[in-house]
């Protein structure tokens, strides 16, 4: 597995789940399809290619007919996230959520729809489309990838869908994060989780991000202005955008989940992001509780929910998990060379540890130790 921030004892607040990943929430499955092909000068339609697709099933592939209560927050919605108007109107999301590059959103959405309904008659198709919302988000990987060539095909989306699993999540330059950068370093997919006591129970909350945002001078790790302290060349360009998905087993209603999604943005801000003009910063929050609420249309439907008096612990968990997920996306990614020799440098682990140590924000582990 790639290096994660905690592997180098970067300090974070809160108690993570066993995997410190969104899949700590029971039932969540994540799948990737990664395309890395070719080197050298850009030849549109030929490459080089550095791109992919990532999918998240909140209730797993077996639970696509049980929608989740859902909320959305557009911190700076300068980008595309399909299905959001319906999600906000109903307060629900069913089926998988996907992230990919900016030129492949439509293909991913349509492939998911076809995959959901393959082999079904019209009546069953209407059931599936009524219970699922095809939510697909994008960030722009054109610094490293022949994005105009649209190299993602239906078979790549299906690979991610059918390969989705519970357990540890591969991070960094994988899936939709393959060609992405954050804070002018190579980044991509990152995840983290928290376990909290709130009201009558213990709940797990996980966040997964596709990080492609921020300027180097903004990068903040564990409260330290690491980006300003690092030496070396500066690209002074923002790739633009971050998509974050938060899933929790805490029983929350849609207005509460919208507030959780807002806190994902606060967690991203802890890493230095300010939501710059061309950065599409968009966040979802979903609850896997109440699976039977929408099981049929007869009679009164019932749902349990946590009183707002107990929600602060989950707000805090969302901030903490989002912050760590972004930093994990950086630590897990190695230097990548893409089109025309464009280079996204990997975050220099040793230099970061030295800076954190100098600021008194490191737990004492040396890289050789």
pLDDT higher at 66 or 187: 187
Report whether pLDDT(368) > 60. no
Alpha-carbon distance of 293 to 271, in angstroms, equals 37
Report whether pLDDT(136) > 50. yes
Cβ atoms within 10 Å of 140's Cβ, excluding its own: 21
Choosing from 102, 249, 281, 287, the catalytic residue is 281
pLDDT of residue 204: 98
CA dist 349 to 19, 221, 273, 334, Å?
A: 22, 12, 20, 10
pLDDT of residue 3: 87
Alpha-carbon distance of 102 to 121, in angstroms, equals 32
Stretch 36-56: mean pLDDT, rounded? 98
Identify how many contiguous H helices and E strands the chain contains and give both numbers.
8, 14
Unique residue bearing structure tokens 């049980």: 66
Q: Tell whether the torsion through CA atoms of 199, 200, 204 and 210 is positive or negative.
A: negative
Active site residue 279: yes
CA dist 24 to 19, 168, 190, 216, Å?
A: 6, 9, 14, 31
Q: Tell whether the torsion through CA atoms of 172, 152, 83 and 60 is positive or negative.
A: negative
Alpha-carbon distance of 24 to 109, in angstroms, equals 26
Alpha carbon dihedral 304, 309, 313, 316, in 10-degree steps, equals 110
CA dist 283 to 15, 77, 200, 208, 264, Å?
A: 22, 9, 27, 10, 7
Two structure tokens written together for 15: 């108690």
| pLDDT tens-digit map of 74-120 | 999 999 999 999 999 999 998 899 999 999 999 999 999 999 888 77
Choosing from 104, 132, 239, 241, the catalytic residue is 241
Burial letters 324-351, b for 16+ CB under 10 A, else e: bbbbbbbbbbeebebbeebebbbbbbee
Identify the H or E element spanning 138.
strand 135-139
The pTM of this model reads: 0.95
Confidence of residue 298 (pLDDT cuts 50, 70, 90): confident
Domains of the chain, CATH where assigned:
5-352 (3.60.70.12)
| End-to-end alpha carbon distance in the chain | 19
Mean pLDDT, the chain, whole residue set: 93
Active site residue 241: yes
| pLDDT tens-digit map of 225-276 | 999 999 776 666 666 899 999 999 999 999 999 999 999 999 999 999 999 9
Choosing from 279, 287, 329, 333, the catalytic residue is 279
CA dist 272 to 7, 73, 251, 269, Å?
A: 22, 19, 31, 5
pLDDT of residue 301: 86
Report whether pLDDT(25) > 60. yes
Report whether pLDDT(131) > 70. no
Instruction: Find which of 120-124, 188-192, 230-234 is predicted with most confidence, using mean pLDDT.
Output: 188-192
Percent of the chain with pLDDT over 70: 92
């Amino acid at each position: 597995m790639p290096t994660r921030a905690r592997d180098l004892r970067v300090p974070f607040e809160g108690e993570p789940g066993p995997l410190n990943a969104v899949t700590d929430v029971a039932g969540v499955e994540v799948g990737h399809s990664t395309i890395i092909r070719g080197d050298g000068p850009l030849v549109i339609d030929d490459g080089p290619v550095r791109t992919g697709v990532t999918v998240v099933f909140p209730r797993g592939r077996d639970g696509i007919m049980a929608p989740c209560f859902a909320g959305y927050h557009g911190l700076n919605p300068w980008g595309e996230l399909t299905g959001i108007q319906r999600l906000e109107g109903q307060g629900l999301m069913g089926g998988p959520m996907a992230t990919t590059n900016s030129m492949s959103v439509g293909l991913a959405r349509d492939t998911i729809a076809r995959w959901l309904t393959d082999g079904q008659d019209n009546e069953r198709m209407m059931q599936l489309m009524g219970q699922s919302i095809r939510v697909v988000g994008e960030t722009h990987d054109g610094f490293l990838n022949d994005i105009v060539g649209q190299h993602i095909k239906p078979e790549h989306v299906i690979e991610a869908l059918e390969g989705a699993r519970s357990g540890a999540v591969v991070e960094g330059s994988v899936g939709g994060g393959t060609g992405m950068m954050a804070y002018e370093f190579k980044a991509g997919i990152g995840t983290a989780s928290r376990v909290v006591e709130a009201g009558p129970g213990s709940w797990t909350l996980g966040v997964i991000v596709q990080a492609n945002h921020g300027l180097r001078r903004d990068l903040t790790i564990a409260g330290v202005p690491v980006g300003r302290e690092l030496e070396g060349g500066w690209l002074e360009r923002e790739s633009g955008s971050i998509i974050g998905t938060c899933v929790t087993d805490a029983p929350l209603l849609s207005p509460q989940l919208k507030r959780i999604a807002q806190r994902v943005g606060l967690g991203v801000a802890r890493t230095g992001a300010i939501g710059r003009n061309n950065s599409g910063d968009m966040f979802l929050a979903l609850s896997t509780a109440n699976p039977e609420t929408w099981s049929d249309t007869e009679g009164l439907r019932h749902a349990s929910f946590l009183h707002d008096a107990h929600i602060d612990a989950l707000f805090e968990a969302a901030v903490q998990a989002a912050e760590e997920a972004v930093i994990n996306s950086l630590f897990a990614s190695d230097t990548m060379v893409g089109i025309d020799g464009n280079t996204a440098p990997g975050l220099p682990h040793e230099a970061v540890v030295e800076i954190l140590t100098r600021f008194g924000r490191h737990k004492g582990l040396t890289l050789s130790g």
